[in-house]
């Protein structure tokens, strides 16, 4: 297995002899042959004498490259004498006879051809079915991080910003979108069509003089000559003969050419175009903070666009909120949001044209689960935040990715909190987002927030919980310490200084320091450039003094002295009954004063990025405070969630015991808040997952404790959703029923089965959309024999295949299909995952994640992965983040050292460079599990045998 240890000086970047300032790009995709033709005029600033131009391309055939310059000795335009490719580095090297002089300007014209691939990268095709069930295709883009080069030859680095004029030649009946607004749309007349390589004459483009042969290598064997207009402005006139595939066909009445306004200065990865039969809904912002109303639209395939209403409402509110928060109006004339059927990520913040997975944008108020209402709102706000933080001001290089993603995560939730204050999103952040960061960063195979990125193959591997959630957690910690208004004032200064340009982490620290009058970088650099985070060990020195010692937290529990070399700046926030004391830990160990009655908790509100390890006596004191509810010290929900999170994870590393956690869990019997129950659910699920090979009586004892806690809540809240129920009550109902059912609560299982068969027989109201995923899982996992299991599974499969229901409901069904025990059904499910006709490539991960969480399926999933490795690797060859996720699902939930050896042996002869981080982290996760079970299995078994009968 390989990992990269390059230094910054080894970045794979383009030569600096020329720099692009403007692209005039025309593309013509063919949605039947999946080939696109393109022409681009690129204006260049020349900084060094040169006769060689190197730029990025991948899977592009360059027909011709012609250079003109004011600095040439004659006025001729010279074609490239050689076009060579470096496929490993995604480069095209163009050589010309006459060199360009330094400090001059030049224009490079390139004619080229590419493929509308099916890999969700670059300029690609996405399939959909019409009302008759026939398959059709649309064209869309995904350029981040380095895939603009798949659509056109370009300087594909974030700091090489330029302006863009885009023109798209498309079938007349389709909608064509790009980053900017449309300035013209005209019929496109193309009277001459020739199949094969270009046969035109180059004289029309070169002024009648040819300065050398075009000698393409590999893909570039274009010996033909090209006829055309050097300015690319043939609005309906006869254009040169091309390498089209439409032999003998005239398309003058079926095509149109759509031209868009010039973009602001922007990076190539933010460019976008979408072509398809879309419908749209439209609204305008109030204009209160933008100075004008901003036209906002949601585009979706026919029949589904009204499901974009929720996203549109969030969009118009968030655009005004961000203009206020950032002190800068939204800079483009419009914002479009488009639902794409095939999409690798959740969404992409292309400037002015945000693309989404369908499930991340469309929400049906009547038929979708409420969980998706929140996720849709957040995703919209996250992507809109990027329009300023990432697009207007862009990271200078990929090691500063966290500036984009960490900040957009934090400020995205800030906007959601402003729009939906009753959702308590910051407690949600503590409950869901921070644990994602903590779990990954507790591994040796984690990485700093700022991580050196040298090779394009490494970039996709850092779009992870560190860049997003640790980045956001660190920003939240800093914002809390400085004060939110001071922090945002510093952000406004940062944007003002760097708009339309590029910036680094240090630029943000400088702006915040100038505003706060304190050297922010002095203590924040440790958080962004060092791996990991601390656990604070608390020791009572006397009745009102504690000693706090920090060390790096590792979930393996085997920290060495050499690894414990960071002393973090840690804001403590000491919670007492009277107030919150603002203390700061800046040394390895320090003493602090606390109340004599020992009523205190560190990390008030869980704003700090660290764990706290209290003595067991203090945990018991806090456990009693939990029982007091809102009258106790831990009245703030985030503090109760944080205490649980720390206790649950410190038992994984061995710094507390799992038996002690099971004891603590009983203190929450009268808890009424969703987020606390959610945290309990997560830890019970984790214990049962890791203990999957332990004796059944031990596992059943843990389930009995879980049942004793969750079943009363499920019975109290019931199955019906009243209009007066608030958001948190509704999601608590779902959580409680799910946990009660999975813990073998007979009343819950019986009701779930009754409602499931009523639902299947046509009574859609029998199961509320919020509960369908829970019910499907309960009924399938509680099947009494293989016949019942197969019948249930087939019915859920029918639901998944029903194209008439909202996407989120279909994906809920797809995920639930993984709850079976039958080896035959597991095999069918796995076979579905590699059949694009049954499961879209992007959705296959629902299959792998579901089976990874199923203790009866893990072995079969791993066996399937190993026997189908080449198939899976080929399937995700251009979407390697998806392959990395498949690796994690197939590997990460085992819990034995023997399995580690087996996994390492399998990958020993594989080139793992492009998914090395995912594999390392998954393997280390198995080691964590194995050490945890080895350490605590006896203590847990003893605890269960002693206490289980109390919970029956």
Catalytic residues, which ones?
A: 383
CB 536 within 8 A of CB 574: no
CB 707 within 8 A of CB 741: no
Token couple for 132: 């008759």
Q: CA-to-CA distance for 897 and 917, rounded, in angstroms?
A: 20
Helix (H, G, I), strand (E, B) or coil at 54: strand
Token couple for 472: 């956001």
CB 636 within 8 A of CB 605: yes
Q: CA-to-CA distance for 460 and 443, rounded, in angstroms?
A: 19
- Owner of token pair 């620290």: 509
Token couple for 260: 């868009």
Largest CA distance in the chain: 95
CB 388 within 8 A of CB 328: yes
Q: CA-to-CA distance for 369 and 5, rounded, in angstroms?
A: 44
Beta strand 104-115 pairing with 60-69: antiparallel
Helix (H, G, I), strand (E, B) or coil at 221: coil
CB 51 within 8 A of CB 61: no
CB 186 within 8 A of CB 257: yes
840 - beta bridge partners? none
Helix (H, G, I), strand (E, B) or coil at 762: coil
Q: CA-to-CA distance for 388 and 397, rounded, in angstroms?
A: 17
> Do you find a cis peptide bond into 519, omega within 30 degrees of 0?
no
DSSP 8-state assignment for residue 557: S
Is residue 763 packed enough to be buried (19+ CB in 10 Å), middle (13-18) or exposed (0-12)? exposed
- CA distances to 120, 532, 640 from 437, rounded to whole Å, are 27, 10, 19
DSSP 8-state assignment for residue 801: T
Residue 371's CB: how many other CB atoms inside 10 A?
16
């Amino acid at each position: 297995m390989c990992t990269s240890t390059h230094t910054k000086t080894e970045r794979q970047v383009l030569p600096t002899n020329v720099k692009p300032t403007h692209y005039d790009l025309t593309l013509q995709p063919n949605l039947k042959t999946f080939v696109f033709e393109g022409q681009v005029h690129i204006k260049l600033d020349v900084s060094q004498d040169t006769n060689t131009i190197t730029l990025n391309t991948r899977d592009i055939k360059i027909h011709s490259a012609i250079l003109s310059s004011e600095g040439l000795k004659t006025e001729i335009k010279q074609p490239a004498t050689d076009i060579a490719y470096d496929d490993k580095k995604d480069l095209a090297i163009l050589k010309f006879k006459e060199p360009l002089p330094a400090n001059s300007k030049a224009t490079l014209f390139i004619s080229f051809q590419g493929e509308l691939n099916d890999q969700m990268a670059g300029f690609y095709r996405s399939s959909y079915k019409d009302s008759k069930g026939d398959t059709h295709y649309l064209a869309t883009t995904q350029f981040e991080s380095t895939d603009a080069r798949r659509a056109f030859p370009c300087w594909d680095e974030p700091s090489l910003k330029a302006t863009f004029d885009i023109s798209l030649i498309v079938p007349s009946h389709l909608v064509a979108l790009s980053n900017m607004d449309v300035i013209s749309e005209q019929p496109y007349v193309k009277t001459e069509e020739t199949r094969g390589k270009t046969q035109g004459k180059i004289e029309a483009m070169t002024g009648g003089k040819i300065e050398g042969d075009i000698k393409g290598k590999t893909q570039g064997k274009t010996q033909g000559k090209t006829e055309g207009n050097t300015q690319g402005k043939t609005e309906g006139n006869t254009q040169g003969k091309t390498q089209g595939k439409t032999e003998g066909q005239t398309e003058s009445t079926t095509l149109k050419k759509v031209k868009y306004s010039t973009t602001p200065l922007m990076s190539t990865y933010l460019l976008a175009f979408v072509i398809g039969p879309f419908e749209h809904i439209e609204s305008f912002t109030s204009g209160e903070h933008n100075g004008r109303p901003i036209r906002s639209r949601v585009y979706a395939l026919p029949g589904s666009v009204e499901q974009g209403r929720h996203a549109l409402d969030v969009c118009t509110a968030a655009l005004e909120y961000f203009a206020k928060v950032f002190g800068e109006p939204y800079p483009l004339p419009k914002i479009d949001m488009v639902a794409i059927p095939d999409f690798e990520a959740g969404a992409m913040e292309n400037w002015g044209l945000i693309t989404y997975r369908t499930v991340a944008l469309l929400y049906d108020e009547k038929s979708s689960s409420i969980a998706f209402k929140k996720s849709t709102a957040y995703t919209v706000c996250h992507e809109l935040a990027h329009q300023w933080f990432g697009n207007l001001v862009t990271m200078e290089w990929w090691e500063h990715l966290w500036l984009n993603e960490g900040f957009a995560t934090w400020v995205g939730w800030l906007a959601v909190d402003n729009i939906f204050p009753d959702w308590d999103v910051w407690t949600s952040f503590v409950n869901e987002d921070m644990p994602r960061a903590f779990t990954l960063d507790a591994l040796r195979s984690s990485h700093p927030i700022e991580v050196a990125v040298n090779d394009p193959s490494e970039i996709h591997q850092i779009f992870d919980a560190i860049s997003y959630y640790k980045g956001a957690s660190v920003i939240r910690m800093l914002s809390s310490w400085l004060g939110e208004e001071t922090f945002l004032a510093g952000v406004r200064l940062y944007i003002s200084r760097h708009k339309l340009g590029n910036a680094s982490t240090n630029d943000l620290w400088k702006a915040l320091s100038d505003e706060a009058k304190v050297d922010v970088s002095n203590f924040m650099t440790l958080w962004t450039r060092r791996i990991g985070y601390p656990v604070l060990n608390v020791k009572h020195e006397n009745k009102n003094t504690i000693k706090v010692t920090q060390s790096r937290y590792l979930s393996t529990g085997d920290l060495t002295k050499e690894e414990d070399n960071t002393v973090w700046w840690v804001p403590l926030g000491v919670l007492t009954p009277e107030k919150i004391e603002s203390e700061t830990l800046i040394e390895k160990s320090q003493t602090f004063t606390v109340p004599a009655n020992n009523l205190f908790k560190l990390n008030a509100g869980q704003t700090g990025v660290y764990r706290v390890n209290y003595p067991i006596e203090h945990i018991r004191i806090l456990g009693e405070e939990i029982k007091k509810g809102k009258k106790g010290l831990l009245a703030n929900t985030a503090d109760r969630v944080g205490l649980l999170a720390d206790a649950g994870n410190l038992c994984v590393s061995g710094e507390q015991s799992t038996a002690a956690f099971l004891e603590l869990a009983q203190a929450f019997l009268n808890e009424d808040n969703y987020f606390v129950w959610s945290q309990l659910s997560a830890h019970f699920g984790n214990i049962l997952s890791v203990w999957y090979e332990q004796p059944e009586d031990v596992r059943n004892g843990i389930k009995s404790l879980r049942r004793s806690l969750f079943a009363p809540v499920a019975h109290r809240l019931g199955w019906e959703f009243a209009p007066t129920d608030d958001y948190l009550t509704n999601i608590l109902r779902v959580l409680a029923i799910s946990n009660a059912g999975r813990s073998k609560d007979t009343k819950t299982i019986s009701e779930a089965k009754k409602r499931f068969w009523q639902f299947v027989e046509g009574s859609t109201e029998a199961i509320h959309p919020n509960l369908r995923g829970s019910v499907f899982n309960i009924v399938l996992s509680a099947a009494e024999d293989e016949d019942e299991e197969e019948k249930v599974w087939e019915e859920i499969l029918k639901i998944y295949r029903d194209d008439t229901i909202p996407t989120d409901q279909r994906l809920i069904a797809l995920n639930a299909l993984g709850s079976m025990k039958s080896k035959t059904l597991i095999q069918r499910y796995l076979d579905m995952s590699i059949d694009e006709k049954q499961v879209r490539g992007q959705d296959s991960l629902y299959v792998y994640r579901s089976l990874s969480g199923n203790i009866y399926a893990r072995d079969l999933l791993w066996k399937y992965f190993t026997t189908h490795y080449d198939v899976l690797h080929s399937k995700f060859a251009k979407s390697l983040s998806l392959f990395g996720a498949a690796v994690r699902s197939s590997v990460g939930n085992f819990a034995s050292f023997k399995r580690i050896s087996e996994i390492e042996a399998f990958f020993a002869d594989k080139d793992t460079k492009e998914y090395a981080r995912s594999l390392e982290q998954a393997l280390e996760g198995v080691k964590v599990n194995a050490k945890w079970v080895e350490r605590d299995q006896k203590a847990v078994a003893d605890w269960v045998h002693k206490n289980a009968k109390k919970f029956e």
